[in-house]
Structures are given as structure tokens and as C-alpha cells.
Amino acid sequence: MENIASGVINVHVDPKDKEQANNILKSLGLNMTTLINMTLKQVIKKNGVPFEVVNPTPSKELKEALNEVNEMIKNEEKYPRYSNREDLKKALLSDD
């Protein structure tokens, strides 16, 4: 049997993230050590991070929805607010 030296990597992670990741990896038949080794091999092979690392940008649809919500917040006369179900029901049933 070949004697393979190994290095140790210590990382600090959120315990909840670690648990979720471990559960997913277990369902895939993997463990954290295997994943880290696979990832490091891909970093070497690709000479960089093996997945896209970008700042998330909202989609066109999300931007439109956010603009619509902001408009609703600014224009309370056009988009009234209701503090309870009964007031909303009265407004919906009114002839206005």
C-alpha cells in the first residue's frame, strides 16, 4: 500500500450551513473531505474557481416588481392600505 501524505485544512463555517451541506453530500454518497478534494482538483485543472463567482443581479422581472411595489408605497391614494380583513372586504365590495 502506498503511503500518501495528507495536508490538513481548517475552516470556520456556519454550523447550520455545515449541517445542510453534510446532509446533501450524504444523499449524494459523498462527504465533506471528498467534496473539498474534488473542488481542489477542479481548481487546479481549470486554473481558477470551477464555478461562476459573481455578484447577484436582479432579473428584469424582479426589478419591475420592485419598482411597482415602490410606486404602490409612494402613492397611498391610488393603492390604499388596510389594517384588517374587514376593511379590505368593505373596500372590495364597495361601488367606488
The pLDDT tens digits for 14-51 are 999 999 999 999 999 999 999 999 999 999 999 999 99
In this predicted structure, what is the pLDDT of residue 96? 67
In this predicted structure, what is the pLDDT of residue 94? 87
The pLDDT tens digits for 44-88 are 999 999 998 888 889 999 999 999 999 999 988 888 888 999 999
Give, as one character, the DSSP assignment of residue 31.
-
User: By C-alpha distance, which of 2, 7, 59 is closest to 33?
Assistant: 7
User: pTM above the 0.75 mark?
Assistant: no
In this predicted structure, what is the pLDDT of residue 2? 60
- Cβ atoms of 60 and 68 within 8 Å: the answer is no
- d(Cα 53, Cα 38) in Å, to the nearest integer? 18
